[in-house]
Structure 1
């Protein structure tokens, strides 16, 4: 009689272990659902003079490169100031450059979600014995980080 009781306990225990093993076993490659991951590589957005007053949408981690072209003439140079971010929490400034031809650049990394502007101004710097008009030209791009 004792043997019969033991046998009746072993069968449910074996069935339970088999079900547990099936539940935790890895699925085969053919039966596993496919997942699509977004590229981990950050995108780079390049902006220039022609992008004035534009709005761009980027992802966190993307890089925004601003390349503003100045102009040189016999009377002077129309030069750009360094591009700047209106909100360093949204767009972090990571590089900048300027040359004697009036060109200026700025590199920004999209950080937190939000909206920020990148701003610069252009003005004339006269050559000796020349005069420039008292004009400042603004440049702005709105960046939305998602």
Structure 2
């Protein structure tokens, strides 16, 4: 009787998963000595303007995405510089750029153990005929790769 109920459950499950599920067979881990032990999946940490002063802990292989938003008002654009890593051997920038609206973004890949800082600075860019205050606003995050 136990076999009967198993057959009834298997058929709808197989139909829901598609035909490929009918032929998929997994051997026990002991029968697969050539496979490396599973490593935790790499994560992606997203940092924004609000993360200024924060510390993050990463594992080698993780990514850090920095998304800084600029502001435009009354003929002044408060624009961010492209984020930088103080130690590029620890966190390597893989992509980075700035937008005309003052935003800046970058992605860093955690290469090896160490502690570094990610930095950017926001400054003013005036339209013709406008004058900006000479204020530079720093942004900084400390990143530790373990």
**What TM-score do the two structures reach when normalised by structure 1?**
0.73
TM-superposed CA distance for 1:71, in Å, is 0.2
Alignment correspondent of 2:117: 117
Alignment correspondent of 1:51: 51
State how 1:87-98 maps to structure 2 within 5 Å. Answer: 87-98=87-98
Distance in 2 (CA, whole Å) between partners of 1:134 and 1:88 is 29
* SS of 1:131 mapped into structure 2: coil
Length, aligned pairs only: 115
State how 1:19-98 maps to structure 2 within 5 Å. Answer: 37-39=38-40, 41-98=41-98
Structure 1 residue ranges without an equivalent (≥5): 1-28
Distance in 2 (CA, whole Å) between partners of 1:99 and 1:83 is 13
* SS of 1:50 mapped into structure 2: helix
Alignment correspondent of 1:133: 133
Alignment correspondent of 1:17: none
Distance in 1 (CA, whole Å) between partners of 2:88 and 2:128 is 38
Q: What whole-Å deviation, never above 9, does each CA across 1:12-37 have from its counterpart, x for those lacking one?
A: xxxxxxxxxxxxxxxxx6x99xxx73
Q: What whole-Å deviation, never above 9, does each CA across 1:84-133 have from its counterpart, x for those lacking one?
A: 00001100010012111000001100011010100000000011111110
Q: Which runs of 4+ in 1 moved over 6 A?
A: none
Alignment correspondent of 1:100: 100
**What TM-score do the two structures reach when normalised by structure 2?**
0.73
Structure 2 residue ranges without an equivalent (≥5): 1-27, 32-36
Alignment correspondent of 1:5: none
